[in-house]
Amino acid sequence: MKYFIIFVLISFFSCKNKIETKISGFIYTNKNIPASNIEIGSKILYSPMHSKYAKRTDLVLKKNGEFEFEIKRMEMKGDNNFAIIFKKEGYKDEYRFVDIRKNEKIDLDTIFLNPIDSITLPNNGNRCTPL
């Protein structure tokens, strides 16, 4: 019985499938300038942001706007859809949704970041006094 349990445990842990997907593309501002100082995050849809079942690794961001990174995840039943989030201060966040089960390499092509529009609130003649 002891050997049977050991055999089952070894079989269970050795049969885990891993998904490794390489994601690449280019990222520019709306003026065709390569974006620098950007944050690239990933999120499994319908799961906590910092899920221990998936990792974004090996992020490379070149001066010409080219980026590349890898998503590693244990293959599990359920949702393997990812939201890739691109953030830069002063620009709107951009999202790309990918299904990592279907491809080992995904090319997101070119992503353009648009600036945040400034908002002017009307004063309506009211005088603001400091507290």
DSSP 8-state class, residue 34: B
Kindly report, residue by residue over 11-50, the tens digit of the pLDDT.
Answer: 665 555 677 889 999 999 999 999 888 888 777 665 544 5
Q: Which two tokens stand for residue 119?
A: 């908002």
User: What confidence score (pLDDT) does residue 6 get?
Assistant: 73
Q: Provide mean pLDDT across the span 1-20.
A: 68
Residue 78 sits in a domain of what CATH number?
Answer: 2.60.40
In a domain, 53, yes or no: yes
Domains identified in the chain, total number: 1
Q: Are 40 and 59 in contact (CB under 8 A)?
A: yes
User: What confidence score (pLDDT) does residue 48 get?
Assistant: 47
Q: Does the pLDDT of residue 52 top 80, yes or no?
A: no
DSSP 8-state class, residue 76: -
